[in-house]
Amino acid sequence: MGKSSKDKRDAYYRLAKEQGWRARSAFKLLQLDEEFDLFANVTRVVDLCAAPGSWSQVLSRVLIKGEKFGRTAWQDKEARFRQQMLGILPQDEQKTEADKTIDEQQEERKPREDVKIVSIDLQPISPLAGITTLRADITHPATVPLLLSALDPDFDPKMAGTQASHPVDLVLSDGAPDVTGLHDLDIYVQSQLLFAALNLALCVLKPGGKFVAKIFRGKNVDVLYAQLKIFFEKVIVAKPRSSRASSVEAFIVCINFQPPDGFRASLEEPLGVGGRLDEMLKEREAQKTDTEMQGAAAISEQGVVEMEVYDDVPEDKERNTRWIAPFIACGDLSAFDSDASYQLPEDHVSLDPVQPPIAPPYKRAIEMRAALSGSQR
Ligand code: SAM
């Protein structure tokens, strides 16, 4: 397959090269931010599973350089309406881009002071202005102190677990394992990576902080949503326009981190499927009132339906609480369709990728194949 056929098949791949993004994923984060104002009031950010670095590029350009990638006034109004429906934005917060004065808009575009961004991946990330990059495994306990020291060189590891070790406003994770094509296996491995990201986020997030992570929507994903609701006031599933509709990929957007009383996060004793997290979920269920336990649909004040579904099991058996999170498609829905092929203009020139991988896992295989074909000549 030639470069230009991929340009034709994937408009966001082409657009990413034209706009200087290292990967098409940049558009997913931009579209999530458009919908949820992720970067509002944020100065400490951790980007997990960040290579080759397009999400970090977005962070660098928006937070450090103060660039604004905007939606139109109309899209802004629509997004605010949805945010009010979901209770993310107060009902009386009516101001839209169109209502703001030029001065107010300029003010928002200023680079923020004292921004710290740390990006982590198993793969090396080529340098980015203002961003600290770490080559580390997000599932390893040693990564948390490493990350906290990168955010603050004076951080004392003895302070781990105290309030001082929770300085982060936003944790992002676009983590994905190498996809095998075996649907259930891919979903399982992805969920393990998601739990690793969540555990790390619980160790470093400030109360009120936000967590955004990639998920693959599988059979039991609503159990995961119920688990996330233990820690965050709002949990929403979002599908950006630039994420292919044909893929199971989506993003959970968790807003307002509120750890339960007495909860202490630790990567030494991580939460995962089963064990401590299941216990916490049962405790939360036990604290609910009878009315809440009627199940069915809980309609929030703003009229948005959040559903709790109970599996139909005999009285003497435990019921499995699942919680159906609100789902939002985001990004300009009249923009490119990521599943469509587009006719390219005749004079179209296909560009090279902005940042080819520095040390991809397949590099050694290519070298061995080249050596082999050389020796056979
Ligand atoms: N957000 C990135 C961007 O915009 O350029 C793309 C991320 S890519 C889809 C997924 C990344 O997850 C890969 O670079 C992979 O190395 C990383 N990853 C997978 N498992 C990891 C782990 N245990 N620790 C750190 N990174 C991991």
Would you call 230 exposed, middle or buried from its count of C-beta atoms within 10 A (0-12, 13-18, 19+)?
middle
Known binder of ligand: residue 121? yes
**CA of 56, closest atom in ligand 1:** 4
With CA atoms as reference, report the closest residue to 187 among 268, 248, 100.
Answer: 248
User: What are 261-304's pLDDT values in tens digits?
Assistant: 888 887 777 776 556 777 777 777 676 655 554 443 444 443 34
Bridge-based pairing of strands 305-310 and 232-240 is unpaired
Q: Distance between CA 14 and CA 21 in Å, rounded?
A: 10
The answer to whether 323 is annotated as binding is no
Average pLDDT of the segment spanning 65-78: 69
Sequence spans of domains, the chain: 27-88+101-276+320-335
pLDDT at 82: 66
Half-sphere exposure of residue 328: CA atoms within 13 angstroms, side-chain side: 27
239 is catalytic: no
Per-residue confidence (pLDDT) for residue 112, from 0 to 100: 74
Q: Which is catalytic among the residues 214, 229, 234, 239?
A: 214
Distance 177 CA to ligand 1 centre (A): 7
Across the chain, what does the average pLDDT equal?
A: 80
Band of residue 258 on the pLDDT scale cut at 50, 70, 90: very high
Ligand 1 atom nearest the C-alpha of 172 is 1
CATH topology of domain 27-88+101-276+320-335: Rossmann fold (3.40.50)
Asked if residue 312 belongs to a known ligand binding site, the reply is no
* Long-range interactions of 299-306: CB distance < 8 A, separation 24+: 300/87, 301/87, 302/84, 302/85, 302/86, 302/87, 302/91, 303/85, 304/85, 304/86, 304/87
Alpha-carbon span 370 to 315, nearest angstrom: 65
Tell how far the Cα of 267 is from the centroid of ligand 1, in angstroms. 19
50 alpha carbon to ligand 1 midpoint, in Å?
Answer: 5
Kindly provide the ipTM of the predicted complex, given to two decimals: 0.99
Give the number of the atom of ligand 1 that is nearest the alpha carbon of residue 25.
4
Q: How many CB atoms lie within 10 A of CB 181?
A: 6
Q: With bands split at pLDDT 50, 70 and 90, how would you rate the model's confidence at 346?
A: confident
CA 52 to centroid of ligand 1, rounded, Å = 8
To the question of pTM greater than 0.90 for the whole model, the response is no
Q: Which atom of ligand 1 is closest in space to residue 47's alpha carbon?
A: 1
Query: Do the annotations mark residue 53 as ligand-binding?
Result: yes
**Quick one: three-class SS letters along 184-216?**
HHHHHHHHHHHHHHHHHHHHHEEEEEEEEEEEE
> Measuring from each residue's beta carbon to the nearest atom of ligand 1, which residues come in under 6 Å?
22-23, 25, 49-55, 120-123, 137-139, 174-177, 193
Secondary structure element (H or E) that encloses residue 55, with its range: helix 54-59
